[in-house]
Structure 1
Amino acid sequence: MTGPLDARTARRRYVTVCVLFWLPLGLSIAPMVLLFTERGMAMAAVTGLFAAHSLTAAALELPTGGLSDVLGRRSVLAAAGLLGLAALTVVGLGTAPWLLGLGMALMGAARALSSGPAEAWYVDAVHACSGPGAELRTGLARGSSATSAALAAGTLLGGALPWLLGLGPDLGARLGDATSGLVLPLSLPLLLGAAVEVAFVLYVLTALPEPPRPPATLRDVVGGVPATVTEGLRLGRRDGLVRRVLLSAGAAGGALTSIELLTPGRAAALTGTSESGAVLFAALACAGFVCSGVGNHLAPSVARLAGGGERAVLVGLGTGAGGLLLLGATATSAGAVTAALAALGYGSLHFGLGLAGPNENDLLHRRVTGSVRATALSVQSLALQLVGALTGLVVGVLAPGPLPWVLGGAVLLAGALLWIRRAGDAPAAPRPHAVPSSPA
């Protein structure tokens, strides 16, 4: 790289990477659960497939975060895109349970590889041009808003595409005997997402310059990654504020898993068919991501009004928990008022999580150094994936009704309560190679 990018260019490229990475996931959200049921999977099996995704991501989070800190952000992001391409293709075309499980595991590996490098690249680029005290919250909020917009657009298109084409369940026969039984209407959004992954990989390789790094040998990787992972594992133990960020990420994971598993079935039950249920769920998810994007956009302003990022996190997580509990309260009722309350709860959950996210990450980046930045983000994602997987397994065996929704709301409420006690919103600058300790 001939010189550091200016902050505006770095922010624009970071936003583009967010859009290209999360758009394929958005395309898969609405049809995924319903596609599995079309393939003959019971709800317990579906929760197992989602657990395969979450547990794979959790197992690989720290090693892949360390890999990014050792090898560089760009190469790891490109590998994430290639794994995402393979995962969406396998899930879209797979029929056997083991193939679907493999696809979800590949998707989890892609998620692990991608969880830290893009944001770490952005923070590194801004620090390179503006110094370590540069303002980060606005750029992080815009990246989160772009992520929400990509998820909203992808979810809406992914839910509507099978219905708009009107091809019916004989799509495989229309495309030829070789695809009969492989390509269902609900498969098409995932295959479109696989095509977007190709664009993501090409953009990452051409638009994300990095400072020259010494050539990494196998010995560097074998020795450097475990050391970075070890430092990552110490983050929560050594710093009380970082610990609260990580625990809050876990609480958000439990809430999001509950929504992802429970809403599609509730939508299909209301409409009567899988395809129409996917359309309704897509509309709901799109509205939810719009609410999340609004929360992302307002995150810096709410932090200023509330008196700091920590109070803004409390407001956001508390709002989200109230929304999920409201969904539980309306789970067994019907009517226009109930539907309006459920929609309010759904939007409140996403708005609250969107409000909390950029403020949490701003606090995190001010406590860690560039040498472990991607690893810190991987630890955060690890917490989200682990709690999400455990919550999903419990939700899958609970009886239908309010209880599964209330479980997710209680998990998120516990995360909000962590922020009642403030530890100060202006931490000291981190030491060159470690995270500062905190009495919190």
Structure 2
Amino acid sequence: MLFADSGLSDASISVLLAVWSLTAVVFEVPSGAIADRFSRRSCLVASGLLHAAAYASWVLFPSFWGFAAGFVLWGLGGTLTSGAFEALLYDGLAVNGDAELYGRLNARVDTITLVAQVPVAVLATFLFSVGGYDLAGWVSVAMCLVSSVIALRFPEPPRGSSEDHAGYLDTLRTGLREAVPIKRAVLAVALVYAIDAFEEYFTLLVQDWHVPTVWVPLATTGVPLLGAAGAALGGRLRFRGWVLFASGLVLIAAAVLAVPAAIVLLGLFYGLYRFVLVQVETELQHRIESEARATVTSVAAIGSEFVAFAIYGLWVLGAAFAVGVLVLVVALVIWRR
């Protein structure tokens, strides 16, 4: 819905998304170290405030530069969440001796997040039809502020006394050093998570498949539901490479059909993809041993941003078909038996 009525070209939209990714590339790892050195909960609170400012920028300045400023703010907010949330969740379980439950709980969080997109889509359709883009935008600002208030109530377990004396640069170096021996897990998360950048184009894709703008949110409600189903099943199959490969084939089939009915295939692609994403994220968290957990996770995230640039370029060159081919390549790289 953000781009649906913006009047921007596909090339301009890709440039804006690249600005978002570039912001993440610059601040991803430093923000992870901030979460490890200081407070992960505070990072989540600040993230909500920055996201609220981003929406305000998009509403107040609906031009290329207004969108660009908003994406810088959105990128900064995203870097504060990335790594910090996973570390807060994992350490909260580990302090009670329940670290093995992380995969199940992480899948549940992903499932709830995706299912929540359905009522949000219904509300967005209502707000857009009643008050247009401005009303939908200001309600989004309010919701981001509410998320910061909720984050204030998250419990944050105490960490080791050695970290109390570690400086910011020491924390940063610790996280970067640990990412090296577990580089295969880091690479898997980087490659797979990057594919999620394609979600930003779902509304444009559905519009290209001849769905009226006002009905786009409702027409795509099944996509996050199938994504939620995939996330909920994450970790139950032995091999993940062939699942991701299958999702690429499904996306290519949807791109070839290019009709409203292909939204079903788009949802199936997203469900298979989410299944794999939960698996690789869980494996990475289990392999991190130091207290610089958010920093290591951010290293994987920054890798995903570089791959996301390819997603943006492929959208301009070949839309969904080209992205489907990239998914096949990623699946072959991470395929393990």
Map Cα deviations across residues 308-342 of structure 1 (whole Å, 9 max, x no partner): xxx1x2243123212211122113xxxxxx543x1
Equivalent position of 2:127 in the other structure = 161
Equivalent position of 1:260 in the other structure = 200
Residues 38-437 of structure 1 mapped to structure 2, 5 A cutoff = 41-130=8-97, 134-163=100-129, 165=130, 167=131, 185-211=132-158, 220-221=167-168, 223-231=169-177, 235=179, 237-239=180-182, 241-249=184-192, 252-254=193-195, 256-261=196-201, 263-264=203-204, 266-267=206-207, 270-271=210-211, 276-280=212-216, 282-300=217-235, 302-303=236-237, 306=238, 311=239, 313-331=240-258, 338-340=259-261, 342-396=262-316, 398=317, 403-422=318-337
Q: With structure 1 as the length reference, what TM-score do the two structures score?
A: 0.70
Q: CA RMSD in A?
A: 2.6
- Secondary structure of residue in 1 paired with 2:287: coil
Q: Which amino acid aligns with 2:141?
A: A
Map Cα deviations across residues 172-195 of structure 1 (whole Å, 9 max, x no partner): xxxxxxxxxxxxx12322221211
Contact kept, 8 Å, 1:116 with 1:377, in 2: the verdict is: yes
Map Cα deviations across residues 180-237 of structure 1 (whole Å, 9 max, x no partner): xxxxx1232222121112221112112323316779999923x235324533xx62x4
Structure ID, larger Rg = 1
Cα distance change, pair 145–259 in 1 and its aligned pair in 2 (3 A): closer
Map Cα deviations across residues 346-377 of structure 1 (whole Å, 9 max, x no partner): 01111111211221122111211251221222
Contact kept, 8 Å, 1:56 with 1:108, in 2: the verdict is: yes
Cα distance change, pair 417–212 in 1 and its aligned pair in 2 (3 A): closer
Equivalent position of 1:12 in the other structure = none
Q: Is 2:2 the counterpart of 1:32?
A: yes
Q: Which amino acid aligns with 2:37?
A: V
Q: Which amino acid aligns with 1:299?
A: G
| Whole-angstrom CA distance in 1 between matches of 2:90 and 2:73 | 27
- Secondary structure of residue in 1 paired with 2:210: helix
Cα distance change, pair 268–156 in 1 and its aligned pair in 2 (3 A): farther
Cα distance change, pair 293–55 in 1 and its aligned pair in 2 (3 A): same
Report sequence identity in percent: 20
Contact kept, 8 Å, 2:20 with 2:72, in 1: the verdict is: yes
Residues 12-27 of structure 1 mapped to structure 2, 5 A cutoff = none
Cα distance change, pair 131–32 in 1 and its aligned pair in 2 (3 A): closer
Contact kept, 8 Å, 2:241 with 2:336, in 1: the verdict is: no
| Whole-angstrom CA distance in 1 between matches of 2:206 and 2:159 | 51
- Secondary structure of residue in 1 paired with 2:158: coil
Map Cα deviations across residues 221-269 of structure 1 (whole Å, 9 max, x no partner): 3x235324533xx62x4235314423432xx524x43453364254266
Contact kept, 8 Å, 1:156 with 1:279, in 2: the verdict is: no
Gaps of at least 5 residues in structure 2 are none
Cα distance change, pair 156–412 in 1 and its aligned pair in 2 (3 A): farther
